[in-house]
């Protein structure tokens, strides 16, 4: 036993000597790795950026949406950029459109002596028909959020503080037309929010009018209401220096939209009231050769809205509404400034909306608009939900504006009553509504599979027999003994089917 013991001791001593020699040859020991730590200050999904006290949350989604009688990401055929599709021709209109999106978001927050400093960015790539080809690898980069929040300020691209409630993006896949909701696009702004406690807050925001400006139209311009294009406008500081030519949103603006909001947020939901002031001034009176000839006086539009959303039960059900009225600030209430819907070859529904109109040596006349939007979403279970929604918009041009429009010219349809058949009604007023339902299945958390059905109805006040020009593959339609051409109300059914894999929002 003594021999075995001596052998073991000698072996251990030898190993220790070898280890000591090798250790002396090794480089200096590396600093310990700082593993990622969970940040619980701001909710689920945040972690500390190693070596800092700053928390980061990564998010995003991948989506494919297929649309029938809709396109450009959920816009019903016949409305705004989807208006040309409302011709319903074999070579100019698509029955099916796709939107493919891949989005990443970064939410960065840290505590300071002034409260939380937050920076948020959301951007991605999309392939959307009919605006972009669906073939190959062509994709368009976009961003809809990029803002900083600090000491009550919000600066950058965020959702407009005029928005109170909309079902778009929350209870539907539709890009809603019955509201000017900026949930999907964002809005450039400078804003300050004061918190008064118990969920009560007030905000003043200076916002870029380019995304909501429908412009002020000079009825002496040709065309000011074209049959297949956005209405031409002649707004002050908004026409790229091209008289009567470019849509609103040129090289700048004279003043931002001034938005005020008072809001209360509670466990039961939220409620608020918003108001805004908008510059609706015209540029210049024009002579026949477009020489400046003085200008109308400055005119300012405004809008006011009230809305609320209510949490119902414990499953996540919600009911919400918003009602708003605008005078000279049409783009705060709807996302569509022009419509075009054909039925057969001789029936057409059209509508045009601008913030205001003026004529030769006349003052600016503001356009009145009101809307109402309501929606309800019910959870059948943790995996199934259905929403029902509806919105209505009514547009009213006053008598002076109506007379200006009907006594002047447009391309495609001559609005002068004397140039139209007996029975033609020249009235630019119109209304429209959208009603629909979406059912969504979440087989696993963060995977959305859903189907939405939508009906859109345009009620145009241009009514009765009319002559209208050729439009793409559609030939001109002229009332005669062989055919009868009419302008009347039109409607369209649309559907959207979506798969979307979400990461942390």
CATH code of the domain containing 407: 2.40.160.10
Domain holding 117, by residue range, is 33-502
Domain count of the chain? 1
Q: Is pLDDT at 447 greater than 90 in this prediction?
A: yes
Structural element, H or E, at residue 48: strand 47-48
pLDDT single digits (tens) 345-397: 889 999 999 999 998 889 999 999 999 999 999 999 999 999 999 999 999 99
Alpha helices for 313-414 (secondary structure H): 399-406
Highest mean pLDDT among 373-382, 404-413, 483-492: 373-382
User: Does residue 88 form part of some domain?
Assistant: yes
What mean pLDDT do residues 457-486 have? Answer: 87
Query: Is residue 29 pLDDT above 60, yes or no?
Result: no
Q: Which region among 250-264, 369-383, 451-465, 486-500 has the lowest average model confidence (pLDDT)?
A: 250-264
Distance CA 74, CA 413 (A): 29
Cβ 342 vs Cβ 348: under 8 Å: yes
What value does the mean pLDDT take over residues 403-430? 74
Please tell me the predicted confidence (pLDDT) of residue 449: 98
Q: Tell me: pLDDT of 117 over 50.
A: yes
Mean pLDDT of the chain: 87
Whether the per-residue pLDDT at 274 is higher than 60: the answer is yes
Does a structural domain hold residue 60?
Answer: yes
Rounded Cα distance, 459 and 391, in Å:
14
Residues in contact with 422: Cβ distance below 8 Å, sequence separation at least 6, in sequence order: 465
Give the model's pLDDT for residue 21: 47
Q: Is residue 6 part of a domain?
A: no
Band the pLDDT of 34: cuts 50, 70, 90: low
Residue 151 belongs to a domain: yes
| Of residues 66 and 4, more confidently modeled | 66
Name 395's Cβ contacts closer than 8 Å, sequence gap at least 6.
Answer: 330, 351, 353, 367, 368, 369, 428, 429, 430, 431
User: Where is pLDDT greater, at 286 or 121?
Assistant: 121
Residues 6+ apart with CB under 8 A from 260: 161, 202, 203, 204, 205, 274, 275, 276
Residue 57, C-beta contacts closer than 8 angstroms, at least 6 positions apart: 42, 45, 46, 47, 106, 107, 108, 504
Lowest mean pLDDT among 12-16, 241-245, 437-441: 12-16
Tell me which of 458 and 483 has the higher pLDDT.
458
Any idea how long the chain is?
505
Phi, psi of 98, deg, nearest 5: -120, 150
Q: Which of 309, 234, 222 is nearest to 272 (CA)?
A: 309
Q: Is residue 3 part of a domain?
A: no
Q: What is the pLDDT of residue 413?
A: 63
Cα separation, 154 vs 86, in Å, equals 39
Three-state DSSP class for 246? Answer: coil
Band of residue 32 on the pLDDT scale cut at 50, 70, 90: low
Does residue 18 lie within any of the structural domains? Answer: no
User: Residue 418: inside a domain, yes or no?
Assistant: yes
Q: Is residue 22 part of a domain?
A: no
DSSP SS3 for 86: helix
User: Residue 330 phi/psi, 5° resolution?
Assistant: -60, -35
Q: Which two tokens stand for residue 188?
A: 């450039």
Beta carbons within 8 Å of 397's beta carbon, 6+ residues apart: 357, 365, 367, 368, 405, 428, 429
User: What distances in angstroms separate CA 108 from CA 118, 236, 391, 479, one per listed residue?
Assistant: 6, 39, 36, 64
């Amino acid at each position: 036993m003594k021999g075995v013991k001596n052998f073991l001791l000698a072996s251990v001593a030898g190993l220790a000597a070898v280890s000591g020699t090798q250790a002396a040859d090794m480089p200096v020991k590396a600093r310990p790795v700082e593993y990622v730590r969970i940040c619980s200050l701001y909710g689920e999904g945040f972690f500390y950026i190693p070596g800092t006290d700053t928390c980061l949350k990564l998010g995003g989604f991948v989506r494919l949406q297929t649309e029938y009688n809709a396109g450009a990401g959920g816009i019903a055929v016949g409305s705004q950029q989807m208006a040309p599709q409302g011709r319903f021709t074999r070579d100019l209109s698509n029955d099916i459109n796709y939107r493919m999106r891949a989005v990443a978001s970064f939410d960065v927050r840290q505590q300071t002596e002034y409260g939380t400093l937050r920076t948020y960015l959301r951007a991605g790539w999309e392939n959307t028909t009919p605006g972009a080809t669906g073939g190959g690898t062509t994709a368009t980069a976009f961003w809809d959020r990029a803002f900083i929040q600090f000491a009550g300020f919000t600066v950058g691209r965020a959702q407009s503080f005029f928005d109170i409630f909309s079902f778009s993006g929350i209870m539907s896949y539709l890009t809603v037309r019955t509201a000017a909701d900026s949930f999907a696009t964002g809005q450039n702004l400078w804003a300050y929010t004061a918190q008064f406690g118990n969920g009560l807050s007030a905000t003043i925001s200076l916002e870029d009018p380019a995304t909501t400006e429908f412009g002020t139209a000079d009825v002496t311009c040709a065309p000011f209401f074209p049959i297949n294009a956005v209405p031409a406008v002649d707004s002050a500081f908004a026409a790229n220096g091209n008289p009567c030519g470019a849509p609103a949103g040129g090289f700048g603006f004279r003043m931002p939209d001034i938005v005020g909001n008072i809001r209360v947020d509670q466990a039961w939901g939220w409620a608020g009231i918003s108001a805004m002031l908008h510059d609706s001034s015209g540029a210049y009176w024009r002579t026949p050769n477009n020489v400046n000839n003085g200008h109308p006086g400055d005119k300012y539009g405004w809008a006011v809205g009230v809305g609320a959303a209510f949490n119902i039960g414990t499953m996540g059900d919600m009911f919400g509404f918003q009602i708003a009225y605008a005078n000279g600030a049409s783009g705060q209430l709807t996302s569509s400034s022009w419509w075009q819907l054909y039925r057969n070859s001789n029936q057409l529904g059209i509508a045009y909306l601008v913030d205001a109109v003026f004529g030769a040596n006349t003052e600016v006349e503001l356009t009145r608009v009101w809307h109402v939007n309501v929606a309800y979403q019910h959870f059948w279970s943790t995996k199934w939900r259905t929403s029902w929604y509806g919105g209505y918009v009514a547009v009213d041009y006053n008598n002076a504006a109506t007379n200006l429009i009907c006594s002047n010219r447009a391309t495609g349809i001559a609005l002068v009553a004397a140039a139209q058949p007996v029975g033609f009604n020249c009235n630019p007023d119109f209304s429209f509504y959208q009603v629909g339902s979406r059912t969504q299945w979440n087989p696993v958390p963060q995977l959305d599979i859903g189907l939405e059905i939508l009906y859109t109805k345009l009620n145009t006040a241009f009514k009765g027999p009319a002559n209208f020009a050729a439009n793409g593959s559609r030939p001109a339609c002229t009332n005669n003994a062989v055919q009868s051409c009419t302008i009347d109300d039109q409607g369209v059914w649309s559907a959207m089917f979506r798969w979307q894999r979400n990461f942390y929002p």
